[in-house]
Chains A and B, each alone.
Chain A
Protein backbone atom coordinates (compact mmCIF):
# COMPACT_ATOMS: atom_id res chain seq x y z
CA UNK A 1 0.00 0.00 0.00
CA UNK A 2 1.43 3.29 -1.03
CA UNK A 3 1.19 6.60 0.67
CA UNK A 4 -0.85 7.92 -2.19
CA UNK A 5 -3.38 5.21 -1.64
CA UNK A 6 -3.42 5.97 2.04
CA UNK A 7 -4.01 9.63 1.34
CA UNK A 8 -6.79 8.68 -0.99
CA UNK A 9 -8.38 6.50 1.61
CA UNK A 10 -8.00 9.21 4.21
CA UNK A 11 -9.63 11.73 1.91
CA UNK A 12 -12.42 9.28 1.41
CA UNK A 13 -12.71 8.83 5.16
CA UNK A 14 -12.81 12.55 5.69
CA UNK A 15 -15.39 12.75 2.98
CA UNK A 16 -17.53 10.17 4.72
CA UNK A 17 -17.20 12.09 7.96
CA UNK A 18 -18.13 15.31 6.26
CA UNK A 19 -21.09 13.77 4.48
CA UNK A 20 -22.33 12.29 7.70
CA UNK A 21 -21.93 15.58 9.49
CA UNK A 22 -23.76 17.33 6.69
CA UNK A 23 -26.51 14.79 6.97
CA UNK A 24 -26.94 15.45 10.66
CA UNK A 25 -27.07 19.14 10.04
CA UNK A 26 -29.28 19.00 6.97
CA UNK A 27 -31.91 16.46 7.87
CA UNK A 28 -34.58 17.19 10.47
CA UNK A 29 -36.00 13.72 10.78
CA UNK A 30 -34.64 11.92 13.81
CA UNK A 31 -34.23 8.67 11.96
CA UNK A 32 -32.18 10.27 9.23
CA UNK A 33 -30.01 12.00 11.70
CA UNK A 34 -29.24 8.67 13.32
CA UNK A 35 -28.41 7.25 9.95
CA UNK A 36 -26.13 10.15 9.21
CA UNK A 37 -24.32 9.49 12.47
CA UNK A 38 -23.60 5.99 11.21
CA UNK A 39 -22.14 7.40 8.03
CA UNK A 40 -20.09 9.89 9.99
CA UNK A 41 -18.63 7.17 12.18
CA UNK A 42 -17.75 5.06 9.20
CA UNK A 43 -15.23 7.69 8.15
CA UNK A 44 -12.85 7.14 11.08
CA UNK A 45 -13.43 3.39 10.76
CA UNK A 46 -12.17 3.47 7.24
CA UNK A 47 -9.26 5.63 8.21
CA UNK A 48 -8.22 3.21 10.94
CA UNK A 49 -8.38 0.23 8.60
CA UNK A 50 -6.40 2.05 5.94
CA UNK A 51 -3.82 3.30 8.37
CA UNK A 52 -3.55 -0.14 9.94
CA UNK A 53 -2.96 -1.61 6.55
CA UNK A 54 -0.36 1.03 5.72
CA UNK A 55 1.65 0.28 8.85
CA UNK A 56 0.89 -3.43 8.86
CA UNK A 57 -0.46 -3.01 12.34
CA UNK A 58 -3.47 -4.98 13.58
CA UNK A 59 -4.31 -2.23 16.06
CA UNK A 60 -6.09 -0.37 13.31
CA UNK A 61 -8.49 -3.19 12.86
CA UNK A 62 -8.94 -3.39 16.59
CA UNK A 63 -9.96 0.21 16.62
CA UNK A 64 -12.35 -0.50 13.78
CA UNK A 65 -14.06 -3.14 15.85
CA UNK A 66 -14.32 -0.79 18.77
CA UNK A 67 -15.85 1.88 16.58
CA UNK A 68 -18.28 -0.60 15.19
CA UNK A 69 -19.40 -1.65 18.63
CA UNK A 70 -19.83 1.95 19.64
CA UNK A 71 -21.80 2.74 16.56
CA UNK A 72 -24.07 -0.16 17.29
CA UNK A 73 -24.56 0.88 20.88
CA UNK A 74 -25.16 4.43 19.91
CA UNK A 75 -27.72 3.54 17.33
CA UNK A 76 -29.42 1.17 19.70
CA UNK A 77 -29.79 3.91 22.27
CA UNK A 78 -30.78 6.36 19.59
CA UNK A 79 -33.49 4.11 18.28
CA UNK A 80 -34.80 3.54 21.76
CA UNK A 81 -34.97 7.26 22.27
CA UNK A 82 -36.64 7.67 18.91
CA UNK A 83 -39.30 5.14 19.81
CA UNK A 84 -39.91 6.78 23.13
CA UNK A 85 -40.20 10.21 21.60
CA UNK A 86 -42.40 9.06 18.81
CA UNK A 87 -44.65 7.21 21.20
CA UNK A 88 -45.06 9.74 23.98
CA UNK A 89 -44.79 13.03 22.13
CA UNK A 90 -45.41 11.94 18.60
CA UNK A 91 -42.25 13.63 17.47
CA UNK A 92 -40.21 12.71 14.46
CA UNK A 93 -38.91 16.13 13.60
CA UNK A 94 -35.82 16.95 15.63
CA UNK A 95 -36.34 20.67 15.20
CA UNK A 96 -39.57 20.47 17.09
CA UNK A 97 -37.94 19.28 20.27
CA UNK A 98 -36.58 22.52 21.56
CA UNK A 99 -38.15 23.01 24.95
CA UNK A 100 -34.73 23.40 26.50
CA UNK A 101 -33.26 26.55 25.16
CA UNK A 102 -31.88 29.98 26.10
Chain B
Protein backbone atom coordinates (compact mmCIF):
# COMPACT_ATOMS: atom_id res chain seq x y z
CA UNK B 1 0.00 0.00 0.00
CA UNK B 2 3.02 2.26 0.15
CA UNK B 3 2.58 2.77 -3.56
CA UNK B 4 -0.87 4.10 -2.87
CA UNK B 5 0.65 6.44 -0.32
CA UNK B 6 2.69 8.06 -3.06
CA UNK B 7 -0.55 9.17 -4.63
CA UNK B 8 -2.69 9.62 -1.56
CA UNK B 9 -0.28 11.60 0.59
CA UNK B 10 -0.07 14.54 -1.81
CA UNK B 11 -3.77 14.25 -2.50
CA UNK B 12 -4.82 14.46 1.12
CA UNK B 13 -2.07 16.97 1.75
CA UNK B 14 -3.76 19.18 -0.79
CA UNK B 15 -7.14 18.58 0.77
CA UNK B 16 -5.91 19.45 4.23
CA UNK B 17 -3.98 22.44 2.93
CA UNK B 18 -7.19 23.74 1.44
CA UNK B 19 -8.75 24.00 4.85
CA UNK B 20 -5.67 24.41 6.99
CA UNK B 21 -5.85 28.18 7.03
CA UNK B 22 -9.30 28.09 8.55
CA UNK B 23 -7.84 26.50 11.63
CA UNK B 24 -4.42 28.06 11.83
CA UNK B 25 -3.36 30.84 9.49
CA UNK B 26 -0.54 30.36 7.01
CA UNK B 27 -0.20 26.65 7.64
CA UNK B 28 -1.27 25.64 4.15
CA UNK B 29 2.24 25.73 2.75
CA UNK B 30 3.59 23.70 5.62
CA UNK B 31 0.92 21.11 5.12
CA UNK B 32 1.64 20.95 1.41
CA UNK B 33 5.38 20.74 1.94
CA UNK B 34 5.10 18.10 4.61
CA UNK B 35 2.75 15.98 2.56
CA UNK B 36 5.00 16.13 -0.47
CA UNK B 37 8.07 15.36 1.59
CA UNK B 38 6.25 12.43 3.15
CA UNK B 39 5.30 11.28 -0.32
CA UNK B 40 8.94 11.52 -1.30
CA UNK B 41 9.91 9.48 1.74
CA UNK B 42 7.33 6.89 0.84
CA UNK B 43 8.76 6.77 -2.66
CA UNK B 44 12.28 6.43 -1.34
CA UNK B 45 11.10 3.66 0.92
CA UNK B 46 9.38 1.82 -1.90
CA UNK B 47 12.35 2.24 -4.19
CA UNK B 48 14.82 1.11 -1.58
CA UNK B 49 12.67 -1.87 -0.70
CA UNK B 50 12.28 -2.78 -4.35
CA UNK B 51 15.96 -2.45 -5.07
CA UNK B 52 17.02 -4.35 -1.98
CA UNK B 53 14.57 -7.20 -2.35
CA UNK B 54 15.12 -7.48 -6.05
CA UNK B 55 11.69 -6.24 -6.91
CA UNK B 56 8.28 -7.74 -6.68
CA UNK B 57 7.28 -9.93 -9.55
CA UNK B 58 4.05 -11.03 -7.98
CA UNK B 59 1.17 -11.20 -10.36
CA UNK B 60 3.07 -10.44 -13.53
CA UNK B 61 4.40 -13.38 -15.40
CA UNK B 62 7.77 -13.46 -17.01
CA UNK B 63 8.75 -10.05 -15.81
CA UNK B 64 10.62 -10.94 -12.68
CA UNK B 65 12.93 -8.25 -11.51
CA UNK B 66 11.49 -5.51 -13.66
CA UNK B 67 8.96 -4.18 -11.20
CA UNK B 68 10.22 -2.55 -8.08
CA UNK B 69 6.83 -2.62 -6.45
CA UNK B 70 3.36 -3.80 -7.26
CA UNK B 71 0.07 -3.27 -5.58
CA UNK B 72 -3.15 -4.93 -6.58
CA UNK B 73 -6.49 -4.66 -4.83
CA UNK B 74 -10.08 -4.73 -5.89
CA UNK B 75 -11.88 -1.49 -6.27
CA UNK B 76 -15.11 -2.29 -7.98
CA UNK B 77 -14.86 -5.94 -8.91
CA UNK B 78 -18.15 -6.13 -10.71
CA UNK B 79 -17.01 -3.31 -12.96
CA UNK B 80 -13.71 -5.02 -13.57
CA UNK B 81 -11.85 -2.10 -12.08
CA UNK B 82 -9.05 -2.72 -9.70
CA UNK B 83 -6.37 -0.67 -8.12
CA UNK B 84 -3.33 -1.92 -9.92
CA UNK B 85 -0.25 0.11 -9.30
CA UNK B 86 3.16 -0.90 -10.50
CA UNK B 87 6.47 0.86 -10.38
CA UNK B 88 9.55 0.12 -12.38
CA UNK B 89 12.63 2.23 -12.70
CA UNK B 90 11.08 4.42 -15.35
CA UNK B 91 8.03 5.24 -13.26
CA UNK B 92 10.32 5.66 -10.30
CA UNK B 93 12.39 8.29 -12.05
CA UNK B 94 9.30 10.20 -13.10
CA UNK B 95 7.83 9.94 -9.61
CA UNK B 96 10.99 11.38 -8.12
CA UNK B 97 10.75 14.15 -10.67
CA UNK B 98 7.13 14.80 -9.89
CA UNK B 99 7.50 14.93 -6.13
CA UNK B 100 10.74 16.88 -6.42
CA UNK B 101 9.18 19.48 -8.66
CA UNK B 102 6.20 19.58 -6.34
CA UNK B 103 8.39 20.38 -3.36
CA UNK B 104 10.25 22.93 -5.44
CA UNK B 105 7.11 24.71 -6.55
CA UNK B 106 5.76 24.81 -3.02
CA UNK B 107 8.97 26.46 -1.90
CA UNK B 108 8.78 28.89 -4.80
CA UNK B 109 5.25 29.96 -3.98
CA UNK B 110 5.94 30.18 -0.28
CA UNK B 111 5.04 33.84 -0.16
CA UNK B 112 2.05 33.66 -2.43
CA UNK B 113 -0.79 35.60 -0.91
CA UNK B 114 -3.62 35.25 -3.37
CA UNK B 115 -5.74 32.21 -2.53
CA UNK B 116 -2.63 30.51 -1.28
CA UNK B 117 -4.48 27.55 0.17
CA UNK B 118 -6.02 26.71 -3.16
CA UNK B 119 -2.69 27.14 -4.90
CA UNK B 120 -1.05 24.73 -2.49
CA UNK B 121 -3.88 22.31 -3.02
CA UNK B 122 -3.56 22.63 -6.78
CA UNK B 123 0.18 21.99 -6.60
CA UNK B 124 -0.33 18.92 -4.45
CA UNK B 125 -3.09 17.62 -6.65
CA UNK B 126 -1.06 18.07 -9.80
CA UNK B 127 1.61 15.95 -8.21
CA UNK B 128 -0.88 13.42 -6.91
CA UNK B 129 -2.68 12.99 -10.21
CA UNK B 130 0.45 12.73 -12.28
CA UNK B 131 1.79 10.23 -9.76
CA UNK B 132 -1.38 8.31 -10.40
CA UNK B 133 -0.73 8.42 -14.12
CA UNK B 134 2.81 7.19 -13.61
CA UNK B 135 1.70 4.30 -11.43
CA UNK B 136 -1.65 3.10 -12.67
CA UNK B 137 -1.75 -0.04 -14.74
CA UNK B 138 -5.45 -0.48 -14.63
CA UNK B 139 -6.35 1.39 -17.76
CA UNK B 140 -9.56 2.83 -16.38
CA UNK B 141 -7.76 4.16 -13.34
CA UNK B 142 -5.06 5.48 -15.64
CA UNK B 143 -7.65 7.27 -17.75
CA UNK B 144 -9.26 8.55 -14.58
CA UNK B 145 -6.04 10.13 -13.36
CA UNK B 146 -5.31 11.32 -16.87
CA UNK B 147 -8.51 13.32 -17.00
CA UNK B 148 -8.25 14.44 -13.40
CA UNK B 149 -4.79 15.82 -13.99
CA UNK B 150 -6.19 18.64 -16.06
CA UNK B 151 -8.24 20.06 -13.22
CA UNK B 152 -5.48 21.48 -11.01
CA UNK B 153 -3.58 22.70 -14.05
CA UNK B 154 -6.72 24.38 -15.27
CA UNK B 155 -7.16 26.05 -11.90
CA UNK B 156 -3.59 27.23 -11.84
CA UNK B 157 -3.86 28.87 -15.21
CA UNK B 158 -7.33 30.26 -14.66
CA UNK B 159 -6.75 31.73 -11.22
CA UNK B 160 -3.12 32.76 -10.99
CA UNK B 161 -2.38 33.25 -14.64
CA UNK B 162 -1.55 36.39 -16.54
CA UNK B 163 -3.27 38.09 -19.41
CA UNK B 164 -6.11 36.22 -21.02
CA UNK B 165 -5.95 33.49 -18.47
CA UNK B 166 -9.53 32.28 -18.61
CA UNK B 167 -9.51 31.86 -22.36
CA UNK B 168 -6.16 30.11 -22.19
CA UNK B 169 -7.30 27.80 -19.46
CA UNK B 170 -10.33 26.88 -21.49
CA UNK B 171 -8.20 26.33 -24.57
CA UNK B 172 -5.99 24.04 -22.55
CA UNK B 173 -9.00 22.17 -21.28
CA UNK B 174 -10.67 21.83 -24.67
CA UNK B 175 -7.58 20.50 -26.40
CA UNK B 176 -6.84 17.97 -23.76
CA UNK B 177 -10.38 16.91 -23.12
CA UNK B 178 -11.07 16.24 -26.77
CA UNK B 179 -7.82 14.34 -27.03
CA UNK B 180 -8.66 12.47 -23.87
CA UNK B 181 -11.80 11.16 -25.50
CA UNK B 182 -9.67 9.08 -27.84
CA UNK B 183 -7.99 7.50 -24.87
CA UNK B 184 -11.27 6.91 -23.07
CA UNK B 185 -12.90 5.33 -26.06
CA UNK B 186 -9.98 3.00 -26.62
CA UNK B 187 -9.84 2.09 -22.93
CA UNK B 188 -13.52 1.29 -22.80
CA UNK B 189 -13.25 -0.78 -25.93
CA UNK B 190 -10.31 -2.69 -24.50
CA UNK B 191 -12.04 -3.19 -21.18
CA UNK B 192 -15.26 -4.50 -22.54
CA UNK B 193 -13.99 -6.87 -25.22
CA UNK B 194 -12.14 -9.35 -23.04
CA UNK B 195 -13.16 -12.97 -23.11
CA UNK B 196 -13.28 -13.33 -19.36
CA UNK B 197 -15.50 -10.46 -18.45
CA UNK B 198 -14.71 -6.83 -18.06
CA UNK B 199 -11.15 -6.06 -17.10
CA UNK B 200 -8.92 -3.06 -17.47
CA UNK B 201 -5.80 -4.77 -16.25
CA UNK B 202 -3.08 -3.64 -18.66
CA UNK B 203 -1.06 -6.78 -18.10
CA UNK B 204 -4.02 -8.97 -18.98
CA UNK B 205 -4.85 -6.87 -22.01
CA UNK B 206 -1.23 -6.96 -23.12
CA UNK B 207 -1.51 -10.73 -23.30
CA UNK B 208 -4.51 -10.57 -25.58
CA UNK B 209 -4.39 -11.30 -29.23
CA UNK B 210 -5.90 -8.25 -30.88
CA UNK B 211 -5.91 -8.01 -34.63
CA UNK B 212 -3.40 -5.52 -36.05
CA UNK B 213 -6.15 -3.52 -37.67
CA UNK B 214 -8.00 -2.99 -34.42
CA UNK B 215 -4.71 -2.33 -32.65
CA UNK B 216 -3.94 0.45 -35.07
CA UNK B 217 -7.18 2.21 -34.35
CA UNK B 218 -6.89 1.74 -30.62
CA UNK B 219 -3.34 3.01 -30.69
CA UNK B 220 -4.51 6.01 -32.66
CA UNK B 221 -6.93 6.74 -29.84
CA UNK B 222 -4.23 6.42 -27.23
CA UNK B 223 -1.68 8.33 -29.24
CA UNK B 224 -4.04 11.22 -29.82
CA UNK B 225 -4.29 11.87 -26.11
CA UNK B 226 -0.58 11.45 -25.58
CA UNK B 227 0.52 13.53 -28.53
CA UNK B 228 -1.68 16.44 -27.62
CA UNK B 229 -0.28 16.36 -24.12
CA UNK B 230 3.28 15.96 -25.39
CA UNK B 231 2.61 18.13 -27.55
CA UNK B 232 3.61 17.45 -31.13
CA UNK B 233 2.74 19.79 -33.97
CA UNK B 234 0.06 20.22 -35.19
CA UNK B 235 -1.52 19.50 -31.80
CA UNK B 236 0.59 21.94 -29.86
CA UNK B 237 -1.42 25.15 -30.12
CA UNK B 238 -2.49 25.04 -26.49
CA UNK B 239 1.00 24.84 -25.06
CA UNK B 240 2.53 28.24 -25.88
CA UNK B 241 -0.55 30.00 -24.62
CA UNK B 242 -0.76 27.88 -21.53
CA UNK B 243 2.88 28.46 -20.74
CA UNK B 244 2.70 32.15 -21.41
CA UNK B 245 -0.35 32.80 -19.30
CA UNK B 246 0.36 30.32 -16.53
CA UNK B 247 2.06 31.46 -13.34
CA UNK B 248 5.67 30.42 -12.92
CA UNK B 249 4.90 27.40 -10.80
CA UNK B 250 2.23 26.43 -13.27
CA UNK B 251 4.70 26.59 -16.12
CA UNK B 252 7.18 24.54 -14.17
CA UNK B 253 4.68 21.81 -13.47
CA UNK B 254 3.33 22.00 -16.98
CA UNK B 255 6.74 21.59 -18.54
CA UNK B 256 8.18 19.33 -15.91
CA UNK B 257 5.25 17.05 -15.28
CA UNK B 258 2.29 17.32 -17.57
CA UNK B 259 4.24 17.05 -20.79
CA UNK B 260 6.06 14.11 -19.29
CA UNK B 261 2.83 12.26 -18.72
CA UNK B 262 2.22 12.33 -22.46
CA UNK B 263 5.71 11.06 -23.13
CA UNK B 264 5.27 8.46 -20.41
CA UNK B 265 2.08 7.20 -21.99
CA UNK B 266 3.68 6.97 -25.42
CA UNK B 267 6.66 5.25 -23.97
CA UNK B 268 4.76 2.75 -21.91
CA UNK B 269 1.56 1.67 -23.54
CA UNK B 270 1.89 1.47 -27.33
CA UNK B 271 4.70 -1.05 -27.25
CA UNK B 272 3.07 -2.94 -24.41
CA UNK B 273 -0.52 -3.14 -25.62
CA UNK B 274 -0.42 -2.62 -29.36
CA UNK B 275 2.89 -3.81 -30.81
CA UNK B 276 1.30 -4.49 -34.18
CA UNK B 277 -0.38 -1.13 -34.29
CA UNK B 278 2.86 0.44 -33.21
CA UNK B 279 4.64 -1.10 -36.15
CA UNK B 280 2.04 0.47 -38.44
CA UNK B 281 1.98 3.91 -36.90
CA UNK B 282 5.59 4.40 -35.78
CA UNK B 283 6.78 5.67 -39.19
CA UNK B 284 4.12 8.36 -39.09
CA UNK B 285 5.21 9.19 -35.58
CA UNK B 286 8.74 9.58 -36.82
CA UNK B 287 7.62 11.90 -39.59
CA UNK B 288 5.50 13.93 -37.20
CA UNK B 289 8.30 14.07 -34.67
CA UNK B 290 10.93 15.12 -37.14
CA UNK B 291 8.64 17.76 -38.51
CA UNK B 292 7.84 18.93 -35.00
CA UNK B 293 11.40 19.25 -33.86
CA UNK B 294 12.34 21.45 -36.78
CA UNK B 295 9.10 23.35 -36.71
CA UNK B 296 9.17 24.01 -32.98
CA UNK B 297 12.75 25.20 -33.21
CA UNK B 298 12.03 27.49 -36.15
CA UNK B 299 9.02 29.07 -34.52
CA UNK B 300 10.98 29.50 -31.32
CA UNK B 301 13.56 31.50 -33.26
CA UNK B 302 11.04 34.22 -33.91
CA UNK B 303 9.41 34.60 -30.52
CA UNK B 304 9.58 37.79 -28.56
CA UNK B 305 7.97 36.55 -25.37
CA UNK B 306 10.62 34.66 -23.45
CA UNK B 307 8.20 32.15 -21.99
CA UNK B 308 6.65 31.52 -25.38
CA UNK B 309 10.09 30.95 -26.79
CA UNK B 310 10.85 28.34 -24.16
CA UNK B 311 7.43 26.81 -24.77
CA UNK B 312 8.27 26.29 -28.42
CA UNK B 313 11.60 24.81 -27.50
CA UNK B 314 9.59 22.38 -25.40
CA UNK B 315 7.64 21.49 -28.51
CA UNK B 316 10.91 20.84 -30.32
CA UNK B 317 12.38 18.77 -27.53
CA UNK B 318 9.28 16.74 -26.92
CA UNK B 319 9.14 16.01 -30.62
CA UNK B 320 12.59 14.55 -30.23
CA UNK B 321 11.14 12.38 -27.49
CA UNK B 322 8.44 11.25 -29.88
CA UNK B 323 11.06 10.40 -32.48
CA UNK B 324 13.05 8.47 -29.95
CA UNK B 325 10.03 6.45 -28.90
CA UNK B 326 8.86 5.82 -32.43
CA UNK B 327 12.36 4.80 -33.41
CA UNK B 328 11.75 1.76 -31.29
CA UNK B 329 15.38 0.79 -30.86
CA UNK B 330 17.17 0.64 -27.57
CA UNK B 331 19.32 3.71 -28.09
CA UNK B 332 16.54 5.95 -29.20
CA UNK B 333 14.12 4.92 -26.47
CA UNK B 334 16.76 5.30 -23.81
CA UNK B 335 17.55 8.68 -25.30
CA UNK B 336 13.89 9.64 -25.23
CA UNK B 337 13.72 8.71 -21.56
CA UNK B 338 16.75 10.81 -20.77
CA UNK B 339 15.51 13.76 -22.81
CA UNK B 340 12.31 13.61 -20.79
CA UNK B 341 14.19 13.93 -17.53
CA UNK B 342 16.64 16.47 -18.87
CA UNK B 343 13.93 18.61 -20.35
CA UNK B 344 12.07 18.57 -17.07
CA UNK B 345 15.12 20.06 -15.42
CA UNK B 346 16.13 22.58 -18.03
CA UNK B 347 12.70 23.83 -19.04
CA UNK B 348 11.59 24.13 -15.44
CA UNK B 349 14.67 26.10 -14.62
CA UNK B 350 14.25 28.40 -17.57
CA UNK B 351 10.64 29.06 -16.66
CA UNK B 352 11.73 29.73 -13.13
CA UNK B 353 14.35 32.20 -14.26
CA UNK B 354 12.03 33.96 -16.66
CA UNK B 355 9.37 34.03 -13.98
CA UNK B 356 11.85 35.64 -11.61
CA UNK B 357 12.65 38.27 -14.22
CA UNK B 358 8.97 38.88 -14.77
CA UNK B 359 8.43 39.32 -11.05
CA UNK B 360 11.07 42.04 -11.05
CA UNK B 361 10.34 44.03 -14.15
CA UNK B 362 6.88 42.98 -15.24
CA UNK B 363 7.75 42.04 -18.79
CA UNK B 364 8.94 39.00 -20.61
CA UNK B 365 9.49 40.69 -23.94
CA UNK B 366 13.05 39.87 -24.89
CA UNK B 367 13.30 43.05 -26.90
CA UNK B 368 12.90 45.05 -23.74
CA UNK B 369 15.02 42.93 -21.47
CA UNK B 370 18.77 42.86 -21.18
CA UNK B 371 21.72 43.56 -19.02
CA UNK B 372 21.45 40.70 -16.56
CA UNK B 373 25.16 40.25 -17.04
CA UNK B 374 25.94 43.57 -15.50
CA UNK B 375 23.34 43.79 -12.80
CA UNK B 376 22.65 40.27 -11.75
CA UNK B 377 25.59 37.92 -12.10
CA UNK B 378 23.90 35.00 -10.36
CA UNK B 379 21.04 35.33 -12.78
CA UNK B 380 23.43 35.41 -15.70
CA UNK B 381 25.49 32.46 -14.56
CA UNK B 382 22.53 30.19 -13.95
CA UNK B 383 20.94 31.38 -17.14
CA UNK B 384 24.11 30.44 -18.99
CA UNK B 385 23.99 26.95 -17.53
CA UNK B 386 20.46 26.27 -18.70
CA UNK B 387 21.13 28.03 -21.94
CA UNK B 388 23.80 25.44 -22.62
CA UNK B 389 21.44 22.70 -21.50
CA UNK B 390 18.79 23.87 -23.94
CA UNK B 391 21.16 23.75 -26.85
CA UNK B 392 22.31 20.31 -25.75
CA UNK B 393 25.85 21.08 -24.68
CA UNK B 394 27.76 17.89 -23.89
CA UNK B 395 27.96 17.45 -20.17
CA UNK B 396 24.30 18.20 -19.73
CA UNK B 397 21.69 15.49 -19.63
CA UNK B 398 19.98 17.06 -22.62
CA UNK B 399 22.96 16.29 -24.83
CA UNK B 400 23.17 12.74 -23.65
CA UNK B 401 19.53 12.14 -24.42
CA UNK B 402 19.61 13.78 -27.82
CA UNK B 403 22.83 12.05 -28.77
CA UNK B 404 21.29 8.70 -27.90
CA UNK B 405 18.19 9.52 -29.91
CA UNK B 406 20.37 10.46 -32.87
CA UNK B 407 22.34 7.25 -32.49
CA UNK B 408 19.09 5.33 -32.55
CA UNK B 409 17.93 7.31 -35.55
CA UNK B 410 21.07 6.31 -37.41
CA UNK B 411 19.97 2.74 -36.87
CA UNK B 412 16.48 3.48 -38.11
CA UNK B 413 16.97 5.90 -40.96
CA UNK B 414 19.65 8.42 -41.81
CA UNK B 415 17.12 11.02 -42.78
CA UNK B 416 15.68 11.29 -39.30
CA UNK B 417 19.15 11.42 -37.83
CA UNK B 418 20.03 14.30 -40.11
CA UNK B 419 16.86 16.13 -39.18
CA UNK B 420 17.65 15.79 -35.50
CA UNK B 421 21.13 17.09 -36.16
CA UNK B 422 19.67 20.07 -38.00
CA UNK B 423 17.44 20.77 -35.05
CA UNK B 424 20.55 20.77 -32.89
CA UNK B 425 21.94 23.53 -35.07
CA UNK B 426 18.74 25.55 -34.94
CA UNK B 427 18.68 25.13 -31.20
CA UNK B 428 21.76 27.34 -31.10
CA UNK B 429 19.90 30.02 -32.99
CA UNK B 430 16.99 30.27 -30.60
CA UNK B 431 19.04 29.65 -27.50
CA UNK B 432 21.49 32.42 -28.32
CA UNK B 433 18.61 34.68 -29.22
CA UNK B 434 17.03 34.21 -25.83
CA UNK B 435 20.29 34.30 -23.98
CA UNK B 436 21.95 37.32 -25.46
CA UNK B 437 18.78 39.38 -25.54
CA UNK B 438 18.18 38.76 -21.88
CA UNK B 439 21.65 38.46 -20.45
CA UNK B 440 23.87 40.59 -22.67
CA UNK B 441 23.71 44.20 -23.57
CA UNK B 442 21.80 46.73 -21.63
CA UNK B 443 18.10 46.96 -21.18
CA UNK B 444 16.35 49.96 -22.58
CA UNK B 445 13.14 49.58 -20.64
CA UNK B 446 13.27 46.78 -18.14
CA UNK B 447 16.35 46.89 -15.98
CA UNK B 448 16.65 43.97 -13.60
CA UNK B 449 18.18 45.41 -10.48
CA UNK B 450 17.82 42.67 -7.93
CA UNK B 451 19.73 39.46 -8.27
CA UNK B 452 18.26 36.06 -7.52
CA UNK B 453 17.26 35.54 -3.92
CA UNK B 454 18.38 32.43 -2.14
CA UNK B 455 14.85 31.05 -2.21
CA UNK B 456 14.97 31.22 -5.98
CA UNK B 457 18.57 30.22 -6.28
CA UNK B 458 18.16 27.07 -4.21
CA UNK B 459 15.70 25.37 -6.54
CA UNK B 460 17.66 26.51 -9.56
CA UNK B 461 20.85 25.06 -8.20
CA UNK B 462 19.07 21.80 -7.52
CA UNK B 463 17.84 21.72 -11.10
CA UNK B 464 21.27 22.66 -12.39
CA UNK B 465 22.92 19.99 -10.31
CA UNK B 466 20.44 17.50 -11.73
CA UNK B 467 21.16 18.57 -15.29
CA UNK B 468 24.89 18.25 -14.85
CA UNK B 469 24.76 15.14 -12.72
CA UNK B 470 22.68 13.18 -15.17
CA UNK B 471 24.72 14.58 -18.02
CA UNK B 472 28.05 13.49 -16.58
CA UNK B 473 27.14 10.43 -14.50
CA UNK B 474 24.05 9.03 -16.14
CA UNK B 475 24.67 5.43 -15.17
CA UNK B 476 22.08 5.38 -12.40
CA UNK B 477 19.44 6.93 -14.60
CA UNK B 478 20.18 4.51 -17.39
CA UNK B 479 20.02 1.52 -15.08
CA UNK B 480 16.66 2.76 -13.84
CA UNK B 481 15.29 3.24 -17.33
CA UNK B 482 16.78 0.10 -18.79
CA UNK B 483 14.11 -2.47 -17.85
CA UNK B 484 11.31 -0.33 -19.23
CA UNK B 485 13.26 0.37 -22.40
CA UNK B 486 14.08 -3.29 -22.83
CA UNK B 487 10.49 -4.31 -22.32
CA UNK B 488 9.32 -1.81 -24.91
CA UNK B 489 12.01 -2.72 -27.40
CA UNK B 490 11.34 -6.42 -26.95
CA UNK B 491 7.65 -5.86 -27.51
CA UNK B 492 8.33 -4.00 -30.73
CA UNK B 493 10.97 -6.40 -31.92
CA UNK B 494 8.71 -9.39 -31.34
CA UNK B 495 6.37 -7.98 -33.94
CA UNK B 496 9.01 -7.14 -36.46
CA UNK B 497 10.20 -10.76 -36.51
The reply to whether A and B meet directly (CB within 8 Å) is no
Residues of chain A touching chain B, judged by Cβ–Cβ distance below 8 Å, are none
